[in-house]
Amino acid sequence: MTNKNYSLQRRKVLAKRRKFSYTALTMSLKYPKDLLALIGYLKKLPGVGSRTAERFAFEFLKWEKRDLGALGAMLTEILDKVPPCQECGCLTQNGLCHFCQEGRDTATLCILSSARDAYAIEETRTYRGLYHIVEHLLSPLDGRHANQLRIDKIEKRIAKHQIKEVIIAFDSTLEGDTTALYLKNELTKLSLQVSRLGVGLPMGSSLEYIDGGTLARALTGRQTL
């Protein structure tokens, strides 16, 4: 890289930093500290940027104090009231797991990366097997490694229910593909069929945004890995 190009890039970086600092400064001068703190928490929500967080924060200022208190109490208690099932990792209500309590087809196990995806698959009405939620997809750069998948827990469930097929239903992303390949290599040692959702899922897609018809076709057309 020439000195001229380096200097140009350096000026661009400094300009971005000044713009960011100016934006942060003007916001800090414009809004009270507690409101800025609320905006900061709202920005942690997926898909919520600075402007959207500001709109949400100002909308909360219009709420009745009673409603704000109810929301605050709900947020404080939600982790205790809707904990993950110790068996499959799906969400529970009053200590009961909907997917473990009712009669299911124990010959198949569908592995997901989010409890929300179980409800999306249930809406297709084409799958009646068991579910298992892994906490994280593999991403070494983010500190998520194979030991966090708890393969031993999956293997115990396979042995307990004498499962014949494992369906890997991850998002079609780099992390999802990497994790699916790793699980396939580990689980095929157990002499069972390992498949993955098939046609209908575009690359980079997230299961929560896939319509029921497309997801049903993907389940029906799942591919053996």
Are 195 and 166 in contact by the 8 Å Cβ rule? The answer is yes
Residue 86 resides in a domain? no
> Is residue 165 within a helix (H) or strand (E), and if so which, with residue range?
strand 165-168
State whether 57 and 106 are in the same domain. no
Q: What's residue 83's pLDDT?
A: 92
**Of the residues 21, 45, 80, the one at which a domain ends:** 80
Cα of 140 vs its chain's centroid, Å: 17
Residue 126 resides in a domain? yes
Residue 161: closest CA among 108, 122, 205:
108
CATH code for the domain of 142: 3.40.1360.10
How far apart are alpha carbons 41 and 37 in whole angstroms?
A: 6
State whether 43 and 73 are in the same domain. yes
Q: What's residue 94's pLDDT?
A: 80
Q: Is the pLDDT of residue 143 over 50?
A: yes
CATH code for the domain of 47: 1.10.8.420
Q: What's residue 21's pLDDT?
A: 47
State whether 193 and 162 are in the same domain. yes
**Average pLDDT of the segment spanning 143-164:** 86
Q: Grade residue 147 by pLDDT with cuts at 50, 70 and 90.
A: confident
Name, in order, each residue with C-beta under 8 angstroms of 85's C-beta and a sequence gap of 6 or more. Answer: 91, 92, 97, 99, 100
- Range(s) of the domain holding residue 55: 3-80
Residue 121: closest CA among 6, 207, 24, 21:
207
State whether 125 and 217 are in the same domain. yes
Q: Which residue has the higher pLDDT, 109 or 202?
A: 109
State whether 65 and 114 are in the same domain. no
State whether 168 and 101 are in the same domain. yes
Q: What's residue 159's pLDDT?
A: 92
**Of the residues 52, 80, 108, the one at which a domain ends:** 80
**Of the residues 19, 54, 80, the one at which a domain ends:** 80
State whether 44 and 109 are in the same domain. no
Q: Which residues pair with 166 in a beta bridge?
A: 109, 194
Q: Is the pLDDT of residue 17 over 60?
A: no
Mean pLDDT across the chain: 82
**Of the listed ranges 57-61, 74-78, 135-139, 159-163, the one predicted with least confidence:** 135-139
Tens-digit pLDDT profile for residues 23-65: 554 555 588 999 999 999 999 999 999 999 999 999 999 999 9
State whether 98 and 66 are in the same domain. no
Residue 115 resides in a domain? yes
Residue 87 resides in a domain? no
Q: What's residue 6's pLDDT?
A: 44
Global confidence as pTM:
0.70
